[in-house]
Structure 1
Amino acid sequence: MVQPAPPPPPAARLAGVGSSPVRDLLALVSSAKHGDLVSFAGGLPAPELFDSHGLRDAFDSVLRDDPRRALQYSPTEGDPRLSDWIAARHTGRGLPTDPAQVIVTTGSQQGLSLVAAALLDPGDTVLVEEPGYLAALQCFRLAGARVATVATDDDGTDPDALAEAVQRHRPKLLYLVPTFQNPTGRTLPHERRAAIAAVAARHGLWIVEDDPYSELRYAGAPLPSLAAYDGAADRTVVLGSMSKVMSPGMRLGWVRAPEPLRPSLAVAKQAADLHTSTIDQAAAAVYLAEADFPAHIDRLCAAYRPRRDAMLAGLPDALPPGSTWTRPQGGMFVWVRLPEGADAQSHLRAALDNGVAFVPGAPFYAERPDPATLRLSFTTHTPEEIGKGLARLGAVLTRRTG
């Protein structure tokens, strides 16, 4: 009998793409033995704030009134009713948008994958913030791109550092989360947005603006999209998401792209999954047409604002002397840096045993990890639970750094 040959190995491009430490940690948290765990680990919306009744009514309406359409294949670009709503929402927030610029995606993460497929060839360079969004690093590396970083400070990406990085690396694409950034919670101010748009225009650079958090603002005034600034309209791709404001389980996002790029994105979408779930799009379109969406956003912000405030109020007692942290005006995250020489990862096991979880910050760095950093999410617990979790975290950090 001939011994069968082994099958070929997985694609070589996967060799340099690791699993997301956050997703791995969430799996660990879900199996934790502590029955009263307070998790600051996941960037998750609070499930008690889902409008489950309104969404159930929307699904019932779709299945009752138009089941043949809702259960059938649908256009690659998306349900026209949902695209119309998305375009109107952008327009109402100061970014004039035609529905023809919109492609509905299976979560904004797919939108990022489509952009990578449409714009990047193996070996191309992508510039990202340091620290930055983990899943974006996965996506770009899977596309075979080289990832280089841009320095940030308390106001986010430094335009002068960006100009220098563009000169040094000759990138094709710049990826940013300019509003309530993941993981730091920082927001690019108006002057920096204008300066970054000018750098991109001067050097012929694509901008990918990932915008999942901007609806969740608790203080300050909204800022324009990067695509609204001079020189940026023809080179900025905006990624949007329903996950943080409606339901992550529905996996609905979108890409708003300059008109010339849309056909390439549509081809990439066809190759990925033909189209996003017909019934989920239809139900979302019905829900958004009938619900008071601004009031829903107000309810989310009214719930999350005191949770953010509780975390910020509790951090001085929970963290060892010399620690620093961000004070976000919105979003889901506070970014902490422990005193020089600390290693957040070394505290994680003890923290889990003590009933509290966080995300070590080092994996969010593409080039030069800072082991003293960690990310805390405040959205999924009440202010009282946040206080209890911070007390537990403080006991661990004091015991192990004191």
Structure 2
Amino acid sequence: MFSELKINKDRLVYIQLKDYIKDMILKGMLRSGEKLPSTREMASMLKISRNSVMYAYEFLQDEGFVYMKKGRGTFVSDVKVDFQEKWSIDWEDKINQYGKLSERLDIIKHEAKWEKGMISFKSIAPDEKLFNVDEFKKAFLNRMSIEGEKVLNYGYAKGYRPLIQYLLKYMESKGVCTKEKDILITNGFTEGFDLILSCLTERGDNILCENPTHNTAIKIMKLHGLNITGVKVEKDGVCLKDLSEELKKNKFKISYFIPSYQNPTGIVMPPENRVKLYNILKSYSVPIIEDGFNEELRYSGTHVSPIAAFSGSGNSIIYIGSFSKVLFPGIRIGWILADEVLINYLESCKRARNIHTSSLDQAIFYDYLNQGNFEKYIKKARRVYKEKYEFTLKCARENIPCEEIFGEGGMHIFIKLRNISSRKLLERCCKRGVIFTPGDVFYVNDEGYDTFRLGFSRVSEEDIKKGIMIIGQEAKKIGGWT
């Protein structure tokens, strides 16, 4: 029976042997007291080193599956495996409303899926080809040599202190006053937004946001049972007139806005509108959650400060930052900058959920940032994405019959078609190997049927041109244009 073990070169040999013998014992194929082949016999039979067999037997002994008799060999322990009658549960019937709603709102599962060979405009993740992996390796080795034992142990719920200090200075460089404020490190934007809503809202509360807005934010707001009011987005950002009207009609617990490279429209709200937005919400005492989405990717025009900078020493703005859409989304490092009192509660909430964000990831990321690598990276990224943005915009204007194209940079543009269903267009484009994100998933109501988002960050210029030509051809066919 041991000869049936096929050794995989990708795994340690002794672990494969250990797991194989353990599996046979648990299945009753090797019984209590049965003698195993000697280490020499097993090594010869499997054509592996005797040391590998010895290691496997030692680990099995440590785990209580075998015992050794000096001079006699290795024997199977009396492992009790009492198999009972099959017991099955209908888990579909057990899922609560939160679980069912999460599944229904999961666009990764329910939207059109990318298949190998397709041109995909779905992603707005950074292009991994721009990552400086060598510098990241150096940061890893540096941190491990300095405090490897520490960062491999439990950390603090608030986060890795050197990274917190770095991010406080980083926020100050954006013009934000950090006096009597603090930072909580999170697993990206998603956890940060969820923590804030968990601490500040109750089911049935009213929340105000842009329409359209970040799909993940919509999902989280719905999962918290909030009543979402979306205010339309215009060429300069959220419509301030409509915002004022909504505030007159209803009382809102909190608000959520993406002023820079708004997802999905890509619009950058001008400074004067940010000030007006702040003062309107201030007059109604509605706190602001500001999403710093892709703020770092501004590659045209002058610097635009976040809304958090306009509040000065005030504490009404909760800023959620993340490098995930710009750099290394795989390590999921984000942060919340807010009043010290609020951070204190958010810290406890995070500790109750997942104890802390990976200390190792935070430490490596801090070392990478502290060596000045981010500044070098972002300079290169801005240049590359600017070229892709301008090329994508040119191709879209030349090929796609549309009413308007939104977007001022970043990694995506947003297109409003001429009375054409973007889902109908998507269906036809998928058959020709092109996929994008239909715009209705970004709306809090039933609007946006004629819109879609094009992410270009990970698409080559050749595929951008080819893919947009196909989208344009199919749109013209649907619309009856030639």
TM range (shorter): over 0.9
Instruction: Supply the distance in 2 between the matched residues of 1:174 and 1:327 (Cα, whole angstroms).
Output: 23
The equivalent position to 2:283 in structure 1, one of 202, 210, 233, is: 202
Superposition deviation, residue 13 in structure 1: 4.0
1:15 to 1:5, Cα distance in 2 relative to 1, 3 A: closer
Give 1:363's aligned residue. Answer: 441
Does the 8 Å CA contact 1:113/1:139 hold for their aligned counterparts?
A: yes
For residue 183 of structure 2, what is the amino acid of its counterpart? V
Superposition deviation, residue 377 in structure 1: 0.9
The equivalent position to 2:385 in structure 1, one of 284, 304, 307, is: 304
Instruction: Supply the distance in 2 between the matched residues of 1:305 and 1:394 (Cα, whole angstroms).
Output: 22
Superposition deviation, residue 217 in structure 1: 1.1
5+ residue gaps, structure 2, are 1-84
Give 1:220's aligned residue. Answer: 301
Instruction: Supply the distance in 2 between the matched residues of 1:67 and 1:25 (Cα, whole angstroms).
Output: 42
1:331 aligned onto 2:410: yes
SS of the counterpart of 1:118? Answer: helix
Q: 1:1-400 to 2 correspondence within 5 Å?
A: 9-17=94-102, 19-20=104-105, 22-24=107-109, 28-29=113-114, 32-33=115-116, 35=117, 37-97=118-178, 101-230=182-311, 233-320=314-401, 322-328=402-408, 330-340=409-419, 342-400=420-478
Superposition deviation, residue 162 in structure 1: 1.2
1:91 to 1:71, Cα distance in 2 relative to 1, 3 A: same
Q: Percent identity?
A: 27
1:266 to 1:283, Cα distance in 2 relative to 1, 3 A: same
TM-score by length of 1: 0.92
Structure with more relative contact order (C-alpha pairs < 8 Å, separation 6 or more):
1
Superposition deviation, residue 383 in structure 1: 2.4
Superposition deviation, residue 4 in structure 1: 9.2
Does the 8 Å CA contact 1:86/1:99 hold for their aligned counterparts?
A: no
SS of the counterpart of 1:48? Answer: helix
Query: What's the CA shift string for 1:230-271, capped at 9, x where partnerless?
Result: 489321100101212220000100000122211111111112
1:147 to 1:336, Cα distance in 2 relative to 1, 3 A: same
Instruction: Supply the distance in 2 between the matched residues of 1:15 and 1:63 (Cα, whole angstroms).
Output: 42
TM-score by length of 2: 0.77
Q: Does 348-357 or 239-248 show the bigger shift?
A: 348-357
Bigger Rg over Cα? 2
SS of the counterpart of 2:233? Answer: strand
SS of the counterpart of 2:297? Answer: coil
CA RMSD across the alignment: 2.2
Superposition deviation, residue 27 in structure 1: 7.6
Q: Does 303-312 or 192-201 show the bigger shift?
A: 192-201
Instruction: Supply the distance in 1 between the matched residues of 2:251 and 2:153 (Cα, whole angstroms).
Output: 45
- Aligned residue pair count: 394
Instruction: Supply the distance in 1 between the matched residues of 2:134 and 2:98 (Cα, whole angstroms).
Output: 44
Instruction: Supply the distance in 2 between the matched residues of 1:314 and 1:247 (Cα, whole angstroms).
Output: 29
1:27 to 1:325, Cα distance in 2 relative to 1, 3 A: closer
Give 2:69's aligned residue. Answer: none
Query: What's the CA shift string for 1:206-243, capped at 9, x where partnerless?
Result: 10000120100121112111112248932110010121
Q: Does 377-386 or 82-91 show the bigger shift?
A: 377-386
Query: What's the CA shift string for 1:331-373, capped at 9, x where partnerless?
Result: 2221101102x10001212212212111110111111322110
For residue 58 of structure 1, what is the amino acid of its counterpart? A
Does the 8 Å CA contact 2:261/2:407 hold for their aligned counterparts?
A: no
SS of the counterpart of 2:247? Answer: helix
Q: Does 176-185 or 6-15 show the bigger shift?
A: 6-15
Instruction: Supply the distance in 1 between the matched residues of 2:221 and 2:97 (Cα, whole angstroms).
Output: 15
Query: What's the CA shift string for 1:112-166, capped at 9, x where partnerless?
Result: 0111111111111111111111100111111121111112211111222112112
Instruction: Supply the distance in 2 between the matched residues of 1:363 and 1:378 (Cα, whole angstroms).
Output: 19
For residue 113 of structure 2, what is the amino acid of its counterpart? L
SS of the counterpart of 1:234? Answer: coil
For residue 376 of structure 1, what is the amino acid of its counterpart? L
SS of the counterpart of 2:394? Answer: helix
